[in-house]
Amino acid sequence: MQSFPPCAELHLHIEGTLEPDLVFELAARNRITLPYADAADLAARYAFTDLQSFLDLYYATMDVLRTEADFADMTRAYLRRAAAAGVRHAEIMMDPQAHLIRGIPLATCVNGVSSVLATSEAEFGVSTLLIAAFLRDRPAAEALDVLRDLLDMKAPIVGIGLDSAEVGYPPSLFAEVYDVARSAGLRCVAHAGEEGPPSYIREALDVLRAERIDHGIRCLEDEALVERLVADRVPLTVCPLSNVRLGAVDDLPAHPLPVMLARGLNVSVNSDDPAYFGGYLDDNLMAVGETFGWGAAELAIVAGNSLRSAFLDDARRSLLLAELEVWASEQERDGVVQHPRTR
């Protein structure tokens, strides 16, 4: 019996799945000399004090991605691991600007990732969609140019997102980018309320007209905002281990996730950048389950939220919700009360 519920992962940066072993494998393939002794030495550096300290290493290790095959291998490795974690659908963010500014053609990164996503359901049992995320600490005009290039090349993206350093870069800076994306029929999500204030969540909703908020944990500081998010069932893609690793919360017991769930917010659990933040989706579910004493009922709620908040077609959504119902029934039949410890 599966230990974790079938679910969707809605907050995942594909570049954040680069495990140290793969970094070294790609470096050797591309004849790149890394400033680390070995994979263990690199892994030891995956300790961060804030978002910026993570981003510095994130962009440095990303430099090993040079060819379509590199992007494909990274994507394939994630999907293999995600399938083992119970992920049945993944909406994967990619940062095209991070590759363009180091001289990698747009087609290389897009084609490398999308070539694997095209067969992900057949190969891994995981349906997938691709989201182009823009770096908010770079000019909005640059993001608009990249978006237009993506549209011109008919890139297989379902939507756009907004990520990277949050503080000092309010969502409203990217209003035109989101207007163009929406006019092109793309779905809209945005990071807000991780390190940035609750007002960034409001801006993402009101100015960008974002359909999902990535993170959103600081919404609890604004009671009127909480009431709005609950009433409108706005999805919040929460990443517990990431929030702890980056210092957004002091430790996992202090994480607001249980309060958010109790308040009726539409929260799901996600892994963000799992290679850097201590675990994939099952690791996150295990950690919150053990910390907060969650049983199958709570896991089924967040899994159901993820499936209902995904940009899925009705047939696929219905199929996955039916799988979740079977999982929940099996847990109840077998008397599973507490979160299963599988490791």
* In the chain, where the domains are located: 7-333
Q: What homologous superfamily does CATH list for 7-333?
A: Metal-dependent hydrolases (3.20.20.140)
pLDDT of the residue at 125: 98
Residue 142 CA to residue 158 CA, distance in Å, equals 20
Active site residue 194: yes
Mean pLDDT by 10 residues, the chain (343 residues): 84 97 97 93 85 85 97 98 97 98 97 98 98 97 98 98 95 98 98 97 98 98 98 98 94 98 98 95 97 95 98 98 96 66 35
Please report the sign of the dihedral spanned by the C-alpha atoms of residue 339, residue 279, residue 240, residue 175: negative
pLDDT of the residue at 340: 41
Indicate which residue of 194, 195, 203, 298 is catalytic. 194
The neighbour count for residue 39, using CB atoms within 10 Å, is: 16
91 beta partners: 129
Amino acid residing at 44: A
pLDDT of the residue at 336: 59
Dihedrals phi, psi of 25, to nearest 5 degrees: -65, -45
Cα torsion 189, 120, 25, 110 to 10°: value is: -50
Amino acid residing at 335: G
- The pTM is what? 0.94
Q: Tokens 């990303």 map to which residue? A: 62
Amino acid residing at 221: E
Q: Which of 175, 270, 271, 193 is nearest to 229 (CA)?
A: 193
pLDDT of the residue at 59: 86
